[in-house]
Structure 1
Amino acid sequence: MFVLILSLICSLLIALFAVQNASLVTIHLFWITKEVPLVLVILGSTFAGAFIMLLLAIWRGLRQKLKPKQEAKDESLINDQSIQSAKLAPPPSDNED
Protein backbone atom coordinates (compact mmCIF):
# COMPACT_ATOMS: atom_id res chain seq x y z
CA MET A 1 0.00 0.00 0.00
CA PHE A 2 2.89 2.33 0.80
CA VAL A 3 4.39 1.79 -2.65
CA LEU A 4 1.06 2.59 -4.29
CA ILE A 5 0.69 5.86 -2.37
CA LEU A 6 4.31 6.80 -3.10
CA SER A 7 3.78 6.05 -6.79
CA LEU A 8 0.67 8.22 -6.89
CA ILE A 9 2.48 11.12 -5.22
CA CYS A 10 5.39 10.84 -7.67
CA SER A 11 2.97 10.70 -10.60
CA LEU A 12 1.18 13.80 -9.34
CA LEU A 13 4.47 15.69 -9.00
CA ILE A 14 5.57 14.67 -12.49
CA ALA A 15 2.24 15.71 -13.97
CA LEU A 16 2.39 19.07 -12.15
CA PHE A 17 5.94 19.66 -13.41
CA ALA A 18 4.92 18.72 -16.96
CA VAL A 19 1.90 21.05 -17.01
CA GLN A 20 4.06 23.95 -15.86
CA ASN A 21 6.43 23.27 -18.77
CA ALA A 22 3.97 23.34 -21.67
CA SER A 23 6.16 25.23 -24.14
CA LEU A 24 7.11 23.75 -27.51
CA VAL A 25 10.49 22.11 -27.94
CA THR A 26 12.20 20.87 -31.07
CA ILE A 27 12.99 17.17 -31.15
CA HIS A 28 15.61 15.85 -33.58
CA LEU A 29 15.57 12.09 -34.15
CA PHE A 30 17.83 11.00 -37.00
CA TRP A 31 16.37 12.80 -40.04
CA ILE A 32 13.04 13.72 -38.39
CA THR A 33 12.56 17.13 -36.80
CA LYS A 34 9.36 17.87 -34.87
CA GLU A 35 8.12 20.51 -32.49
CA VAL A 36 6.21 18.96 -29.62
CA PRO A 37 5.04 20.23 -26.24
CA LEU A 38 7.55 19.69 -23.47
CA VAL A 39 4.74 17.98 -21.53
CA LEU A 40 4.76 15.12 -24.03
CA VAL A 41 8.53 14.78 -23.86
CA ILE A 42 8.52 14.64 -20.05
CA LEU A 43 5.56 12.27 -19.73
CA GLY A 44 6.74 10.11 -22.63
CA SER A 45 10.18 9.75 -21.08
CA THR A 46 8.65 8.96 -17.71
CA PHE A 47 6.36 6.28 -19.11
CA ALA A 48 9.17 4.81 -21.21
CA GLY A 49 11.34 4.53 -18.09
CA ALA A 50 8.49 2.97 -16.12
CA PHE A 51 7.90 0.47 -18.93
CA ILE A 52 11.58 -0.49 -19.00
CA MET A 53 11.54 -0.96 -15.22
CA LEU A 54 8.43 -3.14 -15.55
CA LEU A 55 10.16 -5.32 -18.14
CA LEU A 56 13.23 -5.65 -15.91
CA ALA A 57 11.06 -6.59 -12.92
CA ILE A 58 9.26 -9.24 -14.96
CA TRP A 59 12.60 -10.59 -16.22
CA ARG A 60 13.98 -10.76 -12.66
CA GLY A 61 10.83 -12.48 -11.41
CA LEU A 62 10.99 -15.08 -14.15
CA ARG A 63 14.66 -15.77 -13.46
CA GLN A 64 13.98 -16.24 -9.75
CA LYS A 65 11.01 -18.47 -10.52
CA LEU A 66 12.97 -20.65 -12.94
CA LYS A 67 16.12 -20.88 -10.80
CA PRO A 68 14.81 -23.58 -8.39
CA LYS A 69 13.59 -25.65 -11.35
CA GLN A 70 17.00 -25.42 -13.01
CA GLU A 71 18.76 -26.35 -9.76
CA ALA A 72 16.48 -29.38 -9.35
CA LYS A 73 17.17 -30.38 -12.96
CA ASP A 74 20.93 -30.05 -12.42
CA GLU A 75 20.74 -32.09 -9.21
CA SER A 76 18.75 -34.80 -10.99
CA LEU A 77 21.33 -34.89 -13.78
CA ILE A 78 24.17 -35.23 -11.26
CA ASN A 79 22.35 -38.07 -9.50
CA ASP A 80 21.72 -39.85 -12.81
CA GLN A 81 25.38 -39.51 -13.76
CA SER A 82 26.55 -40.91 -10.42
CA ILE A 83 24.18 -43.88 -10.79
CA GLN A 84 25.48 -44.52 -14.31
CA SER A 85 29.10 -44.33 -13.18
CA ALA A 86 28.36 -46.73 -10.31
CA LYS A 87 26.87 -49.22 -12.78
CA LEU A 88 29.88 -48.95 -15.09
CA ALA A 89 32.49 -49.24 -12.36
CA PRO A 90 34.21 -52.63 -12.25
CA PRO A 91 33.46 -54.74 -9.22
CA PRO A 92 36.11 -54.67 -6.52
CA SER A 93 38.71 -57.40 -7.01
CA ASP A 94 39.81 -59.77 -4.29
CA ASN A 95 43.53 -59.77 -4.99
CA GLU A 96 45.30 -61.01 -1.91
CA ASP A 97 48.93 -61.51 -2.73
Structure 2
Amino acid sequence: MARAFTPKVVTANDLLEGDVIYLTEDDRWSRELSEAELITDEAHAQIRLLDAERQAGKIVGAYLADAIAGDEGPEPTHFREDFRRTGPSNYAHGKQETSPQPRA
Protein backbone atom coordinates (compact mmCIF):
# COMPACT_ATOMS: atom_id res chain seq x y z
CA MET A 1 0.00 0.00 0.00
CA ALA A 2 1.29 3.45 -0.92
CA ARG A 3 2.03 5.91 1.84
CA ALA A 4 -0.37 8.82 2.23
CA PHE A 5 0.96 12.15 0.98
CA THR A 6 2.12 14.44 3.77
CA PRO A 7 2.11 18.24 3.38
CA LYS A 8 5.27 19.78 1.93
CA VAL A 9 7.03 23.07 1.30
CA VAL A 10 9.46 23.75 -1.55
CA THR A 11 12.86 24.71 -0.20
CA ALA A 12 16.24 25.47 -1.76
CA ASN A 13 19.32 27.58 -1.22
CA ASP A 14 19.80 31.06 -2.62
CA LEU A 15 22.39 30.69 -5.39
CA LEU A 16 24.40 33.80 -4.53
CA GLU A 17 24.06 34.04 -0.75
CA GLY A 18 23.56 30.39 0.19
CA ASP A 19 20.68 31.10 2.59
CA VAL A 20 17.86 28.60 2.96
CA ILE A 21 14.80 29.89 1.12
CA TYR A 22 11.19 28.77 0.69
CA LEU A 23 8.79 29.15 -2.22
CA THR A 24 5.70 31.21 -1.36
CA GLU A 25 2.21 30.84 -2.79
CA ASP A 26 2.70 34.04 -4.83
CA ASP A 27 5.93 32.71 -6.44
CA ARG A 28 8.44 34.63 -4.33
CA TRP A 29 11.38 33.15 -2.45
CA SER A 30 11.38 33.94 1.26
CA ARG A 31 13.94 33.30 3.96
CA GLU A 32 11.05 32.74 6.41
CA LEU A 33 9.49 29.27 6.59
CA SER A 34 6.33 30.85 7.98
CA GLU A 35 5.76 32.50 4.57
CA ALA A 36 6.17 29.28 2.57
CA GLU A 37 3.30 27.73 0.64
CA LEU A 38 2.10 24.62 2.48
CA ILE A 39 1.23 22.13 -0.26
CA THR A 40 -1.29 19.42 0.55
CA ASP A 41 -1.71 17.85 -2.89
CA GLU A 42 0.97 15.54 -4.31
CA ALA A 43 0.48 16.54 -7.97
CA HIS A 44 0.58 20.25 -7.07
CA ALA A 45 3.75 19.65 -5.03
CA GLN A 46 5.49 18.09 -8.04
CA ILE A 47 4.44 21.01 -10.27
CA ARG A 48 5.73 23.55 -7.73
CA LEU A 49 9.01 21.68 -7.46
CA LEU A 50 9.40 21.76 -11.26
CA ASP A 51 8.64 25.50 -11.20
CA ALA A 52 11.41 25.96 -8.63
CA GLU A 53 13.94 23.83 -10.49
CA ARG A 54 13.51 26.04 -13.57
CA GLN A 55 14.96 28.96 -11.58
CA ALA A 56 18.56 27.77 -11.79
CA GLY A 57 19.77 31.37 -12.04
CA LYS A 58 18.38 32.12 -8.56
CA ILE A 59 18.38 28.91 -6.54
CA VAL A 60 20.16 25.60 -6.13
CA GLY A 61 19.13 22.26 -4.67
CA ALA A 62 15.34 22.60 -4.64
CA TYR A 63 13.40 19.81 -2.94
CA LEU A 64 10.16 19.08 -1.11
CA ALA A 65 10.37 19.09 2.68
CA ASP A 66 7.73 17.67 5.01
CA ALA A 67 5.86 20.30 7.01
CA ILE A 68 2.72 20.79 9.08
CA ALA A 69 0.40 23.73 9.50
CA GLY A 70 1.38 25.82 12.52
CA ASP A 71 -0.18 28.84 14.19
CA GLU A 72 2.08 31.18 12.22
CA GLY A 73 2.48 29.19 9.00
CA PRO A 74 4.25 25.97 8.07
CA GLU A 75 6.44 24.25 10.64
CA PRO A 76 9.07 21.56 9.96
CA THR A 77 8.35 17.98 10.95
CA HIS A 78 11.96 16.82 10.86
CA PHE A 79 14.90 18.00 12.93
CA ARG A 80 16.99 18.55 9.77
CA GLU A 81 14.61 21.17 8.43
CA ASP A 82 14.27 22.85 11.82
CA PHE A 83 18.06 23.07 12.00
CA ARG A 84 18.45 24.19 8.36
CA ARG A 85 16.19 27.19 8.74
CA THR A 86 18.46 28.77 11.37
CA GLY A 87 21.48 28.92 9.07
CA PRO A 88 25.06 27.60 9.27
CA SER A 89 26.06 25.93 12.52
CA ASN A 90 29.73 26.87 12.67
CA TYR A 91 29.15 30.18 14.52
CA ALA A 92 26.36 32.68 15.14
CA HIS A 93 25.90 34.98 12.16
CA GLY A 94 23.12 35.98 9.79
CA LYS A 95 19.82 34.39 10.79
CA GLN A 96 21.35 32.85 13.92
CA GLU A 97 21.81 36.25 15.50
CA THR A 98 18.07 37.01 15.36
CA SER A 99 16.38 33.59 15.26
CA PRO A 100 15.68 31.18 18.10
CA GLN A 101 17.89 28.11 18.12
CA PRO A 102 16.43 24.79 16.91
CA ARG A 103 14.47 22.76 19.40
CA ALA A 104 16.22 19.67 20.64
- Give the TM interval when normalised to the shorter protein: under 0.3
Question: 1 or 2, which has the higher strand percentage?
Answer: 2
The structure that is helix-richer by fraction is: 1
TM-score (norm 2): 0.23
- TM-score, normalised by the number of residues in structure 1: 0.24
Structure with larger Rg = 1
